[in-house]
Amino acid sequence: MSDWLAPITTAESVTAGHPDKLCDSISDAILDACLTIDSEARVAVETLVKGMEGKAAIVLAGEVSLNGTAPDYEAIARNTAASIGYTDHSIGMDATSPELCKVHTYITTQSEYISQGIDGDLDSQGAGDQGIMFGYACNETEDTAELRGRHFPIAAALSQRLTRRLDIIQRAKKIPWMRPDGKSQVSIHLDGNRIHEGDGMRYPQHVNNVVIAVQHARDAGGLAEDAQREFIRDTVWEQVVKHAIPERWLDGFDTSNLIVNGTGSFPDPGGPYSDAGLTGRKIIVDTYGGGKHGGGAFSGKDPSKVDRSAAYNARWAAKHVVAAGLADRCEIQVSYAIGRAQPIGLLANTFGTGSISDLELSNRILNVFDWRPAGMIRDLDLKRPIYLATASGGHFGRSPTEDGHFPWERIHEDRLEALRSE
């Protein structure tokens, strides 16, 4: 069988400087600023960016209701874009320049007809909207020391590590010719000889392909075009891929399967100049790299919006199911109606890998975790300015931090025991 016909699974990620992620970061920076002023703030802010000849534009639109003076939305947008690296119009945008970059703000207060259904206590605070959310966890990362404890799809974990590595390099200016805009894609070869007894899935074996796009200075390396391409590819291999992907997954990797800037080159200007950006267009990148998704984006939304809080709670619950040894894979679907506190439905799917029935597991998940909006917000302590960190690099499969970021990734022993014994 040809390699390209072999069983392969793929996931992608994008850097903080990708135009869509730039918008997610601005929206979440505004959310964090509002929550800093008022932890009860209601926020739903979208961002659009576009660079053009001689100018660029950032458009902010949405609804904010808070008790206090509203933050300086324009300053937040400019500072966030600048912190990501957009300080030079020749590379795609100079967010620091009022002459070269205009910020247009269209933010009003939340509709009273929405707020009347989502304010209240544990039993009366309803969902901020209708919708379906999904959470997922698996054991694919658990045989790799650098990834153990993440319970996350391996292709998504590795693609995220690549873009976070690109972000680290760019922000530290370790490689001056690298720019903020970039993407990654990782394909994993599945072992055709090892099939999981529960669900018939093949086991991940090794990295088969790596695709990297990285914007670069036109004079990168001071080389002619062909030599420059080779120089950029070699640099990405040594400074990005070998740093980000654990050696266990590169065992036997054919470096001819590393594709860097597949069209040949990706020179300045890039970012918002080459592609308009918009909040919420990278929902699969934000989650698990593939599979079911309810369609609701996260960034720019306060936790009263179940698009965000219920997706976090579903990931938290699914991770506990897998960590408790009740399944090798677990997907949780939960649905809400606007203004209602209790979910309309919840269903766990272990794809045949569960040690108990999916029906029994669903009942345990309902009993062990609180699915009311106010309960999820309380249990995960979501009324805090912790969201900018989620805007790039993935919302899930990250390490929880001491200062409270990614609380839905933290495992609690009492909930493991409750799931096992419920």
* pLDDT at 196 exceeding the cut of 70: no
With beta carbons less than 8 A apart as the criterion, state whether 305 and 130 touch.
Answer: no
**Kind and range of the H or E run holding 19:** helix 19-37
**Residue whose C-alpha is closest to residue 341's, from 127, 132, 130:** 127
pLDDT (0 to 100) of residue 18: 98
* pLDDT at 9 exceeding the cut of 70: yes
**Residues facing residue 204 across a β-bridge:** 190
Instruction: Let me know how many helices (H) and strands (E) the chain has, helices first.
Output: 12, 13
* pLDDT at 201 exceeding the cut of 90: no
pLDDT (0 to 100) of residue 224: 94
Q: Grade residue 1 by pLDDT with cuts at 50, 70 and 90.
A: very low
Task: State what percent of residues in the chain have pLDDT above 90.
Answer: 89
pLDDT (0 to 100) of residue 24: 98
Residue written as tokens 């997922």? 136
With beta carbons less than 8 A apart as the criterion, state whether 214 and 260 touch.
Answer: yes
**Residue whose C-alpha is closest to residue 81's, from 142, 23, 145:** 23
Number of neighbours of residue 330 by Cβ within 10 angstroms: 30
Q: What is the pLDDT of residues 342-365, one digit of tens each?
A: 999 999 999 999 999 999 999 999
pLDDT (0 to 100) of residue 152: 98
Q: What amino acid is encoded at 22 in this protein?
A: L
Mean of the per-residue pLDDT values of the chain: 94
**Residue whose C-alpha is closest to residue 166's, from 187, 150, 181:** 181
**Kind and range of the H or E run holding 184:** strand 178-195
Q: Which residues contact 298 (CB under 8 A, 6 or more apart)?
A: 24, 280, 283, 286, 307, 308, 311, 390, 395
d(CA 52, CA 56): 6
* pLDDT at 117 exceeding the cut of 60: no
* Peptide linkage before 269 cis (omega within 30 of 0): yes
Q: What is the pLDDT of residues 133-178, one digit of tens each?
A: 999 999 999 999 999 999 999 999 999 999 999 999 999 999 999 9
What mean pLDDT do residues 96-103 have?
98
Q: What amino acid is encoded at 181 in this protein?
A: D
pLDDT (0 to 100) of residue 111: 64
Phi and psi, residue 251, nearest 5°? -60, 120
pLDDT (0 to 100) of residue 107: 97
Q: Would you say how long the chain is, in residues?
A: 422
d(CA 410, CA 412): 7
Residue 194, class by beta-carbon neighbours within 10 Å (0-12 exposed, 13-18 middle, 19+ buried)? exposed
Sign for the CA dihedral angle at 392, 282, 380, 400 comes to negative
What mean pLDDT do residues 115-131 have?
75
pLDDT (0 to 100) of residue 52: 96
Residue 414, class by beta-carbon neighbours within 10 Å (0-12 exposed, 13-18 middle, 19+ buried)? exposed
d(CA 282, CA 238): 28
d(CA 7, CA 17): 32
* pLDDT at 319 exceeding the cut of 70: yes
